[in-house]
């Protein structure tokens, strides 16, 4: 007799916890949906982006934009020192990886085609939003700079 009374007591105290968990779950679903909606409606990353690092600044242009999937796309990065002079003799490489997917990375090196201007060709493997991570090495130090880009068919 005592046992069944105890069981009943536990059951009645548990019910509100389940309701609370259900409410939490519903809230989580709503928040996730809102985030997904925000991500898909977010403006496409621009063709030209500007970045600063310890020694100066980078202007990062993608020649044809949005970039073309499975084609070589021109990347042109212009490096300036803090005083505005071309930053020469740096070593630059870029890794492209698709945001939220494991469909493969694409890495390439850039070469200096004019003082402070570095060019290379990158190939996104699928349509969507990609992250491009620049590894920059100068005489003074090493830097990592990232941007996003859109690729289409
Ligand atoms: Cu992908």
- In the reported structure, the alpha carbon of residue 10 is separated from the centroid of ligand 1 by a whole-number distance in angstroms of 49
Residues with CB under 5 A from ligand 1 (ion): 98, 101, 103, 126
Q: How far is the CA of 12 from the centre of ligand 1 (A)?
A: 49
Q: How many angstroms separate the CA atoms of 1 and 52, rounded?
A: 75
What is the Å distance from ligand 1's center to 91 Cα? 28
User: Each residue's pLDDT tens digit in the chain (153 positions)?
Assistant: 555 555 555 555 567 888 888 888 888 888 887 776 665 556 789 999 999 999 999 999 999 999 999 999 999 999 999 999 999 999 999 999 999 999 999 999 999 999 999 999 999 999 999 999 999 999 999 999 999 999 999
Contact 113, 78 (CB under 8 A): no
**Nearest-angstrom CA–CA distance, 103 and 125:** 8
- Can you give the pTM of this predicted structure? 0.73
């Amino acid at each position: 007799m005592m046992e069944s009374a105890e069981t009943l007591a536990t059951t009645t105290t548990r019910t509100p916890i389940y309701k609370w968990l259900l409410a939490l779950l519903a809230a989580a679903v709503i928040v996730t949906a809102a985030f997904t909606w925000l991500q898909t409606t977010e403006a496409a990353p621009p063709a030209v982006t500007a970045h600063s690092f310890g020694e100066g600044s980078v202007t990062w242009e993608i020649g044809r934009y949005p970039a073309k999937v499975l084609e070589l796309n021109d990347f042109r990065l212009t490096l300036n020192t803090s005083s505005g002079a071309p930053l020469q003799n740096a070593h630059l490489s870029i890794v492209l990886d698709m945001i939220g997917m494991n469909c493969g990375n694409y890495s390439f090196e850039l070469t200096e085609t004019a003082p402070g201007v570095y060019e290379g060709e990158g190939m996104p493997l699928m349509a969507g939003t990609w992250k491009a991570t620049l590894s920059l090495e100068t005489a003074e130090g090493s830097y990592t700079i990232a941007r996003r880009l859109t690729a289409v068919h």
